[in-house]
Amino acid sequence: MSDSIQETIRRTQRYWYIDGLAEIIVGMLFLLFGGFYLFSYYMPNPVVRGLLLGIGQPALIIGGVFLSRVVVRKLKEWITYPRTGMVVYRKPAQNQRRSKAIWAGGIAVVVSMSVILLQNVLGENWMPVISSLFAAVVILVIALRVNLVRLYLLAVYVVAAGVVNSLVNLEDPYSYVLFFAAFGFGWLVSGAVTLVRYLTSTSLMVTEEE
């Protein structure tokens, strides 16, 4: 009985991923990052190029992450909630958010330093593999929490895409563009397949009352 209670809790946590919408938006974001990087790289003016890559890209990433939450919520209100209902998840408490931000910052520093160290040891052509391994770890953490099989598969795909990218060993900017594109494509396809399955297996409920 304890197992079924735990599984019911996990199922409720998994509900966020039932429609694939979050994955579709993440996929589109990564494709956007790749496109923006390519666009910025070929800017003829070096000052503009520097500004776009140095300030524009990080701003796009931060803005994209915030905007994506709003977009996913709006899409769920339109598509998901009228079909299978709405779940509002608990926001972490203020002190939990602070400690999460500190942990995230610390991990980002460790990851950056590891990447620089490994780049010096292994060479730049192995960066896609290393980056994809870190990305896969993040995906695996989510996958373990909600026990969603397709996230495990996505983690494997991301590592495979990183290996292929390293073996192909394209020149700048195409190596990074390929990394973003492959990552984005994987998320997009995973999300799209999930959305199609969700839409074909559910229907709109007009009203909840009897």
Partner 1 sequence: MSDDLRSLTDVDRLIHEPARLMIVTILSAAEKADFLYLLNETGLTKGNLSAHLSKLEEAGYVEIEKTYRGKIPQTLVSLTEKGHGSFNAYRERLKQIVNRIS
Return residues touching partner 1 (CB under 8 A): 1-2, 5, 8-13, 15, 77, 81-82, 84-91, 205-210
Task: Report the nearest approach of partner 1 to the CB of residue 102 (Å).
Answer: 24
Task: Report the nearest approach of partner 1 to the CB of residue 142 (Å).
Answer: 16
Task: Say which DSSP state 49 is in.
Answer: H
Task: Report the nearest approach of partner 1 to the CB of residue 15 (Å).
Answer: 8
Name which of 120 and 201 has its Cβ closer to partner 1.
Answer: 201
Half-sphere exposure (CA, 13 Å, Cβ side) for 199?
11
Name which of 92 and 123 has its Cβ closer to partner 1.
Answer: 92
Strand blocks (E) in 103-151: none
Name which of 5 and 121 has its Cβ closer to partner 1.
Answer: 5
> Residue 163: which of 197, 121, 132 has the closest Cα?
132
Q: Are 139 and 154 in contact (CB under 8 A)?
A: yes
Q: CA-CA distance, 53 to 182, in Å (whole number)?
A: 20
Task: Say which DSSP state 53 is in.
Answer: I
Name which of 46 and 90 has its Cβ closer to partner 1.
Answer: 90
